[in-house]
Amino acid sequence: MATLIVGFLSAQLMLPNKALSQSLGASSQIDIRHSLDIRYALGFDKGETQIAEVSYRPELSGRLNDGIDYFVSARVRAFSSQMLEQGTMSNQGDSRSHINRRSFIGDNIELELKEAYADIFTYNGYLRIGKQTVVWGQADGLRVLDQINPLNYREFILGDIEDRRIALWMAKLEHSFADITAEFIWLPDHSYNDSPNSGPFKPTSPRLVPRLSESFRGTVIRQPSDRPNRFIRDDDYALRLSGFSQGWDWSLNAFYFYDDSAAIDVEGELGSKVILSPSYKRSLLLGGSASNAFDKLTFRSELAYQTNKHQLVNNKPGLITLNKTEKFDQISSVLGLDYQLSANTLISGQLFVSALLDSGDIDQTYNSATLLARQELLNDTIILEGLIIHDLDKSDGSLQLSAKYYLDNAITLKAGMDIFYGDREGLYGQFREASRMTVGLEYNF
């Protein structure tokens, strides 16, 4: 994979558009784009650098003939700080398949093929083959139907969702039948969520990881993840029908997949040893979405039913772990309202409700609300945005503030602030010490 990325980067830097067009044939149409992103983040808690990195991202797109388009994107990222994660191959964990792993030069330079696919156009549709992302649903901040691609949690939920999605090798066939579009996806890439094993965003909440008493002095052994690896039999499959009827955009979704979050089985011996055994479980998601615009108001909704959802329960500290992973069916939903106050001002609110069914006396309901405000100034050259995500059960959450200034068509200046608050056992409060301020510069050429 590293050789492929280096070869692609060399072609990007050494050959101009005209030379590439000649090398691929007279009928080829080539478009080359580059972006350079400089980011710095300073943590509030200890005043230490959290991020200091430079990312270079080349993109190549074009048309081979009247029936085939292609797109290739890579990323080279150099960090001067190891706060977020240790950047060695041995510390990547086992969440990625062997065809979808990052490569490293030393501990401070990362190479990754972000996307690489070809579109083959057919009558009333197309076939997309390669490494790609697929977005289902329109929810902001939290996901209900948007489950196709796993996520990288090196910064938890911070940053652009497009950068956090992990592209997968897959084949997607889309075909239109009158007013209905059918989409079928086959995913042979067995890659799952990336979670850091060190740094400020290492998960500690009992909702996510088993917890031991502070008095425990035994040995904790984490077994390698039991990952699916059988071709066809362990692959993921998805189907979506979508359309537009009487002002409503709608979809019906089905996804037969392995959950991107590993279930952790816990075995313990009193005071001596605890064994953690992660594994990925097969699940079926059925759901749908509907949205409609009424003048300045847009209504959005999603509903999903997922089988075989594994969740940590009774996660309380003791002499040994009292955690156990149990299997439930889960129902999740989101209702959203977007109000366009003016051409330059948007207010958006969402309510997320999720519950584990047949959980008895176990309190396993999750309710969250989000509020987004966006203001554009000076002919859209300045964009101010604020997003708050609040857990209605734990009373914790995050506040994300950002500002962008488009200096010209090529240069964008960025600044922001990310604040976590609330119960340290909550999904967001666990990262209270990771609150930070950020600055950045993006150069597109």
| Residue 357 structure tokens | 């069914």
**pLDDT score recorded for residue 321:** 47
**DSSP H helical segments within 62-110, as ranges?**
none
| 154-169 core/surface letters (b: 16 or more CB in 10 A; e: else) | bbbbbbeeeebbbbbb
**pLDDT score recorded for residue 276:** 83
Higher pLDDT, 324 or 11: 324
What is the rounded CA–CA span in Å between residue 229 and residue 97? 9
Sheet strand arrangement including 273-279 = 219-222, 273-279, 263-269
What is the rounded CA–CA span in Å between residue 202 and residue 221? 18
| Residue 24 structure tokens | 């691929």
Give the mean model confidence (pLDDT) for residues 97-126. 93
Please state the separation of Cα 320 from the chain's center in Å: 33
Q: How confident is the model at residue 201 (pLDDT cuts 50, 70, 90)?
A: very high
Other beta carbons within 10 angstroms of residue 380's beta carbon come to: 10
CA atoms within 13 A on the CB side of 421: 10
Q: How confident is the model at residue 36 (pLDDT cuts 50, 70, 90)?
A: very high
Q: How confident is the model at residue 199 (pLDDT cuts 50, 70, 90)?
A: confident
Other beta carbons within 10 angstroms of residue 336's beta carbon come to: 20
What is the rounded CA–CA span in Å between residue 228 and residue 260? 11
Q: How confident is the model at residue 27 (pLDDT cuts 50, 70, 90)?
A: low
| Residue 180 structure tokens | 């209905």
**pLDDT score recorded for residue 119:** 97
Give the mean model confidence (pLDDT) for residues 31-50. 94
% of the chain surpassing 90 pLDDT: 66
End-to-end Cα spacing for the chain: 26
Q: How confident is the model at residue 220 (pLDDT cuts 50, 70, 90)?
A: confident
For 131-144, the pLDDT digits (tens) are 999 999 888 878 99
What is the rounded CA–CA span in Å between residue 381 and residue 344? 11
CA atoms within 13 A on the CB side of 96: 22
Higher pLDDT, 170 or 92: 170
What is the rounded CA–CA span in Å between residue 164 and residue 158? 9
**pLDDT score recorded for residue 320:** 45
Residue written as token pair 């041995």 = 90
- Res. 313: pLDDT tops 90: no
- Please state the pTM of the whole predicted model: 0.89
Nearest by Cα to 158 from 110, 103, 200, 96 = 200
Residue type, 244: F
Residue written as token pair 């008895």 = 360
Give the mean model confidence (pLDDT) for residues 290-296. 96
Range of lowest pLDDT (2-6, 28-32, 45-49, 224-228): 2-6
Residue type, 223: Q
Q: How confident is the model at residue 362 (pLDDT cuts 50, 70, 90)?
A: low
What average pLDDT does the structure give for the chain?
88
Give the mean model confidence (pLDDT) for residues 414-420. 98
Higher pLDDT, 8 or 71: 71
For 230-288, the pLDDT digits (tens) are 999 999 999 999 999 999 999 999 999 999 999 888 776 556 788 888 999 999 999 99
- β-strand partners of 329: 357
Q: Are 397 and 422 in contact (CB under 8 A)?
A: yes
Give the mean model confidence (pLDDT) for residues 385-399. 96
Q: How confident is the model at residue 319 (pLDDT cuts 50, 70, 90)?
A: very low
- Res. 218: pLDDT tops 90: no
**pLDDT score recorded for residue 19:** 47
**pLDDT score recorded for residue 3:** 58
The 3-state DSSP composition of the chain as helix, strand, coil percent (nearest 5) reads 10, 55, 35
Give the mean model confidence (pLDDT) for residues 184-202. 93
What is the rounded CA–CA span in Å between residue 388 and residue 417? 12
- Res. 54: pLDDT tops 90: yes
- Res. 4: pLDDT tops 60: no
CA-based torsion, 85, 86, 89, 95: positive or negative: negative
What is the rounded CA–CA span in Å between residue 419 and residue 103? 32
Range of lowest pLDDT (205-209, 260-264, 360-364, 418-422): 360-364
Q: How confident is the model at residue 222 (pLDDT cuts 50, 70, 90)?
A: confident
Report the DSSP pairing between strands 273-279 and 219-222: parallel
